[in-house]
Amino acid sequence: MNTIDKRFNIIACIPAYNEEKSIAKVILQTKRYVNQVIVCDDGSTDMTAEIAENLGAIVLKHTKNMGKGAAIKTLLEYAKQLKPDIIVTLDADGQHDPNGIPKLLKPIIEEKAEFVIGSRYVPGSKTETPLYRRIGLKIVNWLSGRGKVKDTQSGYRAYPSKIVDLILQCESKGYGIEVEQLTLAIKNKLRIIEVPITIRYKNLENPSKRNPIRHGTELITIALRLIVEEKPLVFLGVPGILLIVIGLVSGVYLLLYFNMTRYFSIPIALITLGTLFTGILLVVTALILYSLTRLVKKYVSNYKN
């Protein structure tokens, strides 16, 4: 498929922030495969919005930079009004080759998947990912992909309109949006397929607008938050119980030691109090999160029925 498939209304959503040097090429190439291009100008201070508008894209503007996640949400909420069959998301900086769009559309058109990811790490893909990115991505992939997805951070994606409302449940306003989307997809048992794509980092004006350490920290924090929210009794409750046990053992030792020597060890007392307090806090938090999760699931189930 080298041109627009007229059987489907295909919408491309492109978040953009100060991409005046690359946005034109991305839009022109994308228009070959979709019915409409929508760009969210996320508070740019350059000519990004003007260039996109002149090339026929629908441009949605944020008055200030709100983050990629916020831009994606703005794009999807608007795209829903156009009654699309399939939505494609890709970056505006030229990393994602728009000529790969047909590969993303195919599994959805053939009804083999509800969530398609343009992946840098499956056979047939081409990427120039820097070493520090590869290391960071492996950590995030392990935390959020459950071993099922090799490229959890690719923003080059496609999905049918029927799951847009699910995707809009994501709360992340920054670069953690991809991790959160994927977690929701896995949690709701959507069929996920990764297709090989070409990703460029070399010769880009600004391949990353964020400090890699801050970026990585944000992704790992979001991944951990989602994991904890999904199974609070396992990831908070179990460590909490272990700490309580350690605190009790430490307390018994403190009393025995005092009875034998009449010396009250302040360091051991602090360890006892610290582990007991932290353990109880973790257990209580786990129980509260578990109860809230059950209530939310029950509410959603009743709402659907």
The residue among 44, 27, 168 whose CA lies nearest residue 90 is 27
Residue 2 lies in a domain: no
DSSP class of 60:
E
Residue 288 lies in a domain: yes
Residue 115 has, within 13 A of its CA and on its CB side, a CA count of 23
The SS3 assignment for 145 reads: coil
**Which of 229, 245, 279 is at the close of a domain?**
229
The residue among 117, 127, 299 whose CA lies nearest residue 201 is 127
Query: Does residue 285 share a domain with residue 177?
Result: no
- Calculate the alpha carbon distances from 58 to 36, 70, 151, 160 in Å: 8, 17, 29, 20
What range does the domain containing 262 cover? 231-304
Query: Does residue 177 share a domain with residue 196?
Result: yes
Per-residue pLDDT of the chain (305 residues; tens, 9 = 90+): 457 777 899 999 999 999 999 999 999 999 999 999 999 999 999 999 999 999 999 999 999 999 999 999 999 999 999 999 999 999 999 999 999 999 999 999 999 999 999 998 888 776 665 555 555 555 555 555 455 788 888 899 999 999 999 999 888 888 778 888 888 888 888 999 999 988 776 555 555 555 555 555 655 565 555 566 667 777 788 899 999 999 999 999 999 989 999 888 999 999 999 999 999 998 888 888 777 766 655 654 554 45
DSSP class of 254:
H
Number of CB atoms found within 10 A of residue 57's CB? 25
Residue 39 lies in a domain: yes
Query: Does residue 195 share a domain with residue 97?
Result: yes
Virtual CA dihedral for 268, 235, 146, 297, nearest 10 degrees?
-170
**Which of 200, 229, 258 is at the close of a domain?**
229
Instruction: Tell me the C-alpha distance between 55 and 256, whole Å.
Output: 80
- Calculate the alpha carbon distances from 219 to 46, 72, 123, 215 in Å: 28, 16, 25, 6
